Amino acid sequence: MHEFRLPSLGADMESARVVEWLVAPGDTVKAGDLVAVLETDKGAIDIEIFEDAVIEALVAPLDVELPVGAVLATLRGGDDGAAATPSAMPPSATPAAPVAAAAPTPAAPPPQAPPALVPRAGTTTAPGADGFVRASPLARKQAAARAVDLATLAGSGPGGAVLAADVDGARAAATATPRPRGFDAASMRRAIGAAMSRSKREIPHYYLSQAVDLGLALTWLAEYNASVDVAKRLLPAVLLARAAARALAAHPAFNGHYVDEAFVPAAEINLGWAIALRGGGLIAPALRRADQGSLDELMAALRDLVKRARGGGLRGSELTAASVTVTSLGDRGADLVWPVIHPPQVAMIGFGGIATRPWVVDEGIAARPVVNVSLAADHRVSDGHAGSLLLEAIAAALAAPRDL
């Protein structure tokens, strides 16, 4: 028998409350299964277990503030006999900070919610004027059985229809005690403050920026979008995310964590994507392996992440998996963002608003869509020259949109 302890979902997290168990004693769980819902500074987060085991007993009481490391449940099988370390971190998770005073949570200047990231009509099931939600009969039956409101789900079926798999992905909203899945703005602000203070105190930042012509990328995007269904259209943010991820693959000194006085490169490129929350919060869950797969898949992952960041249902591992953070201010954002690194990460990339600017082309001046790409990086790990090469690589990736 061994213990499942309250995981740290970021260095700034000191405590949390279990508000709901998703398993019962005797249940067999597999690595990656959701076991409980925690109320944290970042709102309600679903936490996973990272081993195969049988739940022996649920130890933690509901709705009681518990410190990180507190025993939540006891397990049989799995790691029995192994060191009694909390096993709640995935391999790619942020390495545990030395003290319970580490700090993750988003980064710097709370970026304006990139308006472009709001899922569009056609990908969500917002009821039509008559209140009818497109959903399969099986999805209706399952939603009714689990008290899930179909209108809150994103449909993956034809025309955005909700399918059974979409209901499976959603958790029963109304369990014993219905509970809002929001976040407490004041406590989230305190957590952001703690993380950013630590960042400015400990990390010797340096900053670079470069203006990049997005003409080719946006022309390609417009052509691509004209050739696909409305629901399959891509947003510029996906090109920016993919370009950043590809550049990071070639410049690994910016992708990883600074732990115990040393840089530990990350095996995967998991972009923490800064998402502004309505009501003044900020969260940066991970877009896993953002350098891999098709743009379609990345778009779907981004939509899903934004939806869950705002509507509830983020997983604990998504808050700990980021190896670098990206913020994109979107169409109506400021020209340029100077990021504050999210410890223990070592870099953050910012994209300012895309604006039409005068640009020198072939000795003449043309109006081009331009974005300022900025980098804040940790001088303990890299130097400005390396940072320049990273920005150059992002610019080069955006100049060859077909290869993204």
Name the site residues for another protein (rule: CB under 8 A).
136-141, 156-158, 163-164
Minimum CB–partner distance for residue 189 and another protein (Å):
41
∠ CA 306-344-68, rounded to 5°: 80
Q: Would you say 142 and 168 are in contact if contact means Cβ atoms under 8 Å apart?
A: yes
Minimum CB–partner distance for residue 297 and another protein (Å):
12
Q: Would you say 33 and 73 are in contact if contact means Cβ atoms under 8 Å apart?
A: no
Minimum CB–partner distance for residue 181 and another protein (Å):
26
CB nearer another protein, residue 168 or residue 403? 168
CB nearer another protein, residue 24 or residue 226? 226
Minimum CB–partner distance for residue 300 and another protein (Å):
11
Q: Would you say 47 and 38 are in contact if contact means Cβ atoms under 8 Å apart?
A: yes
CB nearer another protein, residue 65 or residue 168? 168
Q: How many residues does the chain have?
A: 404
Which residue intervals of 281-325 are DSSP H helices?
295-311, 316-320
Least Cα distance to 70 among 54, 103, 47 occurs for: 47
CB nearer another protein, residue 160 or residue 312? 160
CB nearer another protein, residue 137 or residue 364? 137
CB nearer another protein, residue 190 or residue 232? 232
Minimum CB–partner distance for residue 260 and another protein (Å):
43
Minimum CB–partner distance for residue 303 and another protein (Å):
15
For residue 391, give the 3-state DSSP assignment. helix
CB nearer another protein, residue 7 or residue 160? 160
Minimum CB–partner distance for residue 158 and another protein (Å):
6
DSSP codes of every residue in 272-285: EE-EEETTTEEE--
Q: Do strands 43-48 and 34-40 pair parallel, antiparallel, or not at all (unpaired)?
A: antiparallel
Q: Would you say 10 and 320 are in contact if contact means Cβ atoms under 8 Å apart?
A: yes
**CA-CA distance, 186 to 277, in Å (whole number)?**
13
Least Cα distance to 168 among 34, 62, 43 occurs for: 34
Q: Say how far residue 383 (Cα) sits from the centre of its chain.
A: 27
